Structures are given as C-alpha cells and as structure tokens.
Amino acid sequence: MIIALATVFIFLILRFAVTLFNFISDPKLRRVNRRYHDLVSILIPARNEEENILTLLHSIDSQDYQDYEVIILDDDSTDRTYAICEDFAATRSRFSVVKGEPLKEGWLGKPYACHQLAQHAKGIYMLFLDADEQVYDGLINSAVHRMQAKGLALLSLFTNQDMRSFGEKAVVPLMHYILLNLLPVRLIYLLKNPAFAAASGQFMLFNAAVYRQYQWHLLSKDRVVEDIEIIKQVKLEKLPAESLLANGLISCRMYTNYQDAIKGFSKNFLAPFNYSIIGFLFYLVLVIGGPLLVITTLNLPLILMMCGLIVLSRVMISLTAGQNAWLNSILHPFQMFNLMLIGLVAIQNQLTNNHTWKGRRV
C-alpha cells in the first residue's frame, strides 16, 4: 500500500512539475509588428465540410496578411463542399479549388489529400489548415516571423478550442491537458530527440523547399496521426521543428457533440503513447486509479494534498490554453471518466483495426 501510494504521488508531482514548467515558460506564438511579404500557400483538405468551410474561407479573406494563395482540395465529398468552395473562389483571385484524385492503395485520406495539395503550391511556405478553423489578424505574419527567426523546417500550432456544448467541454480540454501535463513543450524545439515530439495537424507550416525535398506526407502516408509522425521524421533528419500554442491567433471547433468528440479523440489517442496499449493502461491506472486509491485511505492530509496538486495543475493548464480554469476544475472527474472511455475505445479500435472516420476506414 505504501509503495503504491508513493508511486501515485511521485507521478502526480512529476506531472505537476511539467505543468508548472509549461505555465512559466508559456510556449505560445508571439505577435510581431514587423511585416513580411513571403508568399504563403494555404492548403486546405476538405471532405464533407459544407457546414464549416465558409467560416474558414471568410476569415482568411478578411485577415491582414496579403501575400498568400489558398488552394482547397475536395476529398471525394458527398455533400456540397466542392460547390460552396467553387462559388467562393469564383470572385476571389487568391482562392482556387481542385478535385482530389481517388484514394490510392496504401494511403490514408488526409495524408493523400495534403500530398496532392503540396503539388499545386507555389509559395515559399506551405500552411496546412483543417476546414473547421478560423484565423485572425496577425497569425500568418507572426508564424512567418517565427519560421525565419528560428530557421524552422516546420512550425505547428495547437489551436485555441471553440467549445459550445456541454459534451465538448467535457471532452475537448483533454487535448491540452495531456499535452501540457506530460510534455515540456519548449523541449520540442530545444531537444532533437524525436521522443520529444508533438504537433497538431490543425496548423502545420512548412518551409516549402524542405518539404519538396523530403515529401513529409509521403513518408507518413499510412499513419492515422500523421502530424506526430511528420514532426518525428523532421527531427530524425536533424532539422529544426517547433510546436507552440496558438495564443488566440487561430481557433477550431473540432466537434459539435459528445459522441463525435469521443469517437474523434479515440482515433488519435494512442499516438502520444507511441501506440503502446500497456503504456496507456499504466498511465490510466496512475491518473485515474491513483486518486481513487488515495481517497480510499481516508487520510485527509493526503487527500487535500492530492486535490491541491490536481486543481493547481488544471488551473495552470487552462490559463495556458486559454480555457475556463474553474469549469475545467469542476469537470475534472467527468473529464477523467471520458479519458478512460476514449482510451478503451481506442484500444478496441487498435486491436480490431476497425475505426472509421467520415465514411472511410482508418
């Protein structure tokens, strides 16, 4: 019992230390006043996005960076995505839309769509965005500045999350929770070891010349979580890569309801654990089972210490991620239940190889 409790608290304190490091180091993309004029190719894969795509396109059209082209690839949509994008592009010279090719054997949908988009890009930089996002003034200019200041081959941003329903608020904050509670984000750039790698496919900005040399999406063509695989490949080639928080410069509404959030997160959940089911189960036992074990001791000082570390961690993570600290603290038990549920669904999908997304097996 003593050994188990000691293990729980050591793990809790280590995670608290990582959270504190991220809170103090504040790994966010900073706004800059210096203006850049490098051509940026904004590349958007879109599959059945008729409800989302116009919000993103209008936000790009009205933001302040002017040296860009936008290419949307319709990835075999069964709704009005292509027609909506075609109508929008018809009156805007910077925008164009293309039909994607049929999915090739050995490829997954998103990597193949991004690979095709890259063939059309003319920019010095390639910026891949998801269709359910919204960009704001200062984003592209600040990102280009960061690319040049650090000489980066890749810059990825973890976007601010737009959460409206209770189901979203009970699930989506887990993305930043796991990231900022387990990984010192600054080390992604500082250490070349690919073990320190995390990225978000919601914002991937590449040096185009380097991209064309290595063809990053080709190297990750069969990976469900291609963003993490790509940043690992970049680091394996000893090229500089960085991931940061978006700092309010871009937002995303990933899911619109509880069921889609559970299903969507389960698709990607095992990637931070290198697809190790044993590693995930060990994490789950410590994160969820550990606090339950402490509660069973009925030792008030231990329980208060544990609760204090958890609440302080949730507050720091929420403030760093631009989320509601008190709501996340109150919802913590429910979010931990959803963490377990997502993990179990992810394990089932991994063992049965039976996961589909937007009508495709992945």
Query: pLDDT tens across 18-38, in order?
Result: 999 999 999 999 999 999 999
> Average pLDDT in the 71-90 region?
97
Cβ-Cβ contacts under 8 Å for 251 (sequence gap 6 or more): 133, 134, 136, 159, 160, 161, 162
- What beta strand segments (E) does 112-270 contain? 125-129, 133-135, 154-158, 160-161, 203-207, 241-245, 250-252
Is residue 357, in this structure, part of any structural domain at all? no
Instruction: For residues 55 and 146, state if they share a domain.
Output: yes
**Same domain assignment for residues 273 and 337:** yes
Residue 358: inside a domain: no
Segment 237-263 shows an average pLDDT of: 95
- Residues 179 and 275 placed together within one structural domain of the fold: no
Query: What's the pLDDT tens digit per position in 323-340?
Result: 999 999 999 999 999 999
Tell me, yes or no, whether 307 and 202 share the same domain.
no
Q: How far apart are CA 138 and CA 17, in angstroms?
A: 32
> Tell me, what's the pLDDT at 357?
57
Task: Give 275's pLDDT tier (boundaries 50, 70, 90).
Answer: confident
pLDDT band at 246 (very low <50, low <70, confident <90, very high): very high
User: Is residue 271 predicted with pLDDT exceeding 80?
Assistant: no
pLDDT of res. 334: 96
Q: What is the mean pLDDT of residues 168-190?
A: 96
Confidence of residue 171 (pLDDT cuts 50, 70, 90): very high
DSSP string for 204-219: EEEEHHHHHHH-HHHH
Residues 115 and 84 in one domain: yes
Average pLDDT over residues 158-182: 96
**Are residues 265 and 248 both part of a single domain?**
no
Judged by average pLDDT, the poorest of 74-88, 106-120, 255-269, 333-347 is 255-269
Residues 269 and 337 occupy one common structural domain: yes
Residue 157 shares a structural domain with residue 295: no
pLDDT at residue 362, as a whole number = 56
CATH of the domain at 243: 3.90.550.10
Residue 361 has pLDDT above 70, yes or no: no
Tell me which residue range forms the domain holding 193: 40-165+174-256
State the average pLDDT over residues 193-222.
96
- What was the pLDDT predicted at 280? 87
